[in-house]
Structure 1
Amino acid sequence: LKVEMYYLREFQAYSELTSAIEAYISFYNHDRFQKRLNGLSPVEYRSQAA
């Protein structure tokens, strides 16, 4: 989170930071494919296991 989002940007307000963190968490869980999960996003991997 810090390396991919926080360190690359400068935030002017706390609310801007919190909305950016929420957007990144959503991206990470739904859209970011991970090699260790066989090329699936975490949500896709969990739904496949169930």
Structure 2
Amino acid sequence: MKEIVLSLLAGIIIGIVFKFMKLPLPAPPVLAGVVGIFGVYFGGQIAEWLKSIF
């Protein structure tokens, strides 16, 4: 849980800094991009699970 909170805090700080510097946010601009990131993560988890079975 600590990693999640720290990750969220780091993301908020980075978002604030980028906005003050008038730079585009370094994140997917739409929900589909965020879902894609989750897909990559879960795909990696499935691959690890499959490797442990075979």
TM-score (norm 2): 0.41
Task: Choose 1 or 2 for highest CA Rg.
Answer: 2
TM-score (norm 1): 0.43
